Chains A and B, each alone.
Chain A
Amino acid sequence: MTAITHHVSDELLDAFVTGSLAHPFAVVVAAHLSLCDACRARAEAAEMLGGMLLDRIAPAAVSRGAQDRVMAALDHAPPAPPIAGSGIFPAPVMQALDGRPPKWRMLGGGIRQQILSADADGSLRLLYIPPGRAVPEHSHGGLELTLVLQGSFSDSEGRFGTGDVEIARNDIDHQPIAGPEGPCICLAATDAPLRFRALIPRLLQPLFRI
């Protein structure tokens, strides 16, 4: 495994830690934290500050009943643990997949996709790109966050290997090309539909739903 060189920004990390990051992006950040010690440590340091603020807040009295109910419930069965990671998919991805392997949908050119969520918060999807293949050139209305789970891709911003995150803002027109070493599998979050530049992919966009 090569070293991770592209990390999440301080802004994204702080938003993740304080709970204000929209779901699709939070999944990408959580998956990156599973793979990247450096960013996990940054996140845990930011949580220390959250804990200190919690320690300092003026307390609000809690009823005796609440305390009694909690103490009486200690012997109840613990809740099921969250879904764990499996293979190349860290826990946050397996959680988004509901614990099942991905169900790929062919997009043409050997590219496959599974949409994990798509709503007002943005969209989250898994992408499978055969070695050497390019994803159709596109730009975004907002922010696209892409985490490499297997293989690598390159675009105008550089090379992204396993564990790397690309933060693509709306001013970037990019065309990611999968590395030659094998299929590239990515987790990608966007907060606005992608806009493809060429006519055919643009016509296909409703099909892509991305």
Chain B
Amino acid sequence: MQADTANQTDPTLWLLAVRDRRDRAAFLRLFEHFAPRLKAMLMRGGLRDGSAEDVVQDVMLAVWHKAAQFDPHRAEASAWIYRIARNRRIDLARRKPPPEPDVMVEPEGSEPDAAQILALGQEAALLRRALDAMSPDQARVLEQAYFEDLPHSRISEMTGLPLGTIKSRIRLGLQRLRRDLNELRQP
């Protein structure tokens, strides 16, 4: 068990405790970690102090209620919470919820795939390192895209969704991002 979780960040473990055991102490830790960061992100996006706090509360309550959808094979807690906050921002800007792809669910009774979770964590750690190596200017450009840009109009028979392939492809996607970040660093 120790080895299985060694590559998961603390927030991911807290979110799993909320998902699996409705653990309020773990949720409080998630709140203490993410609420101030979400508030900072929302203020970067143009919200004032008071409204940013209102939205933080909405987002954290959604984290509590939607925790069953969190899948550690495919995301870290921070990415999953980022998505909820982004959707809430769009919702507020448009006064209408943004489109959300169908929820993918693990088949009933499936066991966690420790190797996949480990590999995702390792890939994420490499991406994090690439991010740390960026110049402040470059990081600011990324932050602007992820925190500030809002929707704008200028832009020049379903079967079960199989989960097997998506898991390995997320890692490929992370590799692509890391390669992009590393290339940015070249003068």
Contact = CB atoms under 8 A, between A and B. Distances in A.
A42 B173 contact: yes
Contacts of A19: 86-87, 89-90, 98, 149-151
Contacts of B90: 19
A49 interface: yes
Given A92-B100, A191-B153, A1 B159 contact: yes
Contacts of A61: 36, 39
A177 B131 CA distance: 46
Interface string A38-68: 1011101111111111111111111100110
B131 A49 contact: yes
Interface residues of A, number: 72
A71 B24 contact: yes
Contacts of A30: 98-101
A66 B53 contact: yes
B17 interface: no
B52 interface: yes
B56 A66 contact: yes
B135 interface: no
A14 to B, nearest CB: 7
- Give chain B's interface residue range (CB within 8 Å of chain A): 35 or more
B6 interface: no
A53 B148 CA distance: 12
B176 interface: yes
A52 B149 contact: no
A57 B177 contact: no
Contact of A47 (B83, B103, B161): B83
B118 interface: no
Contact of A51 (B61, B75, B98, B142): B75
B155 A70 contact: no
B100 A52 contact: no
B117 interface: no
B147 interface: yes
Interface of A: 1, 12, 14-15, 17-23, 25-27, 30-31, 33-35, 37-38, 40-42, 44-63, 66-67, 69-71, 73-74, 78-79, 82, 84-85, 87-88, 90-92, 95-96, 120-122, 142-143, 150, 162, 169, 191
25 contacts: A19-B150, A20-B149, A21-B151, A21-B155, A22-B151, A22-B152, A22-B153, A31-B99, A34-B102, A40-B104, A41-B170, A45-B171, A48-B79, A48-B127, A52-B124, A52-B128, A53-B139, A57-B40, A60-B40, A66-B56, A70-B57, A90-B158, A142-B155, A150-B157, A191-B154
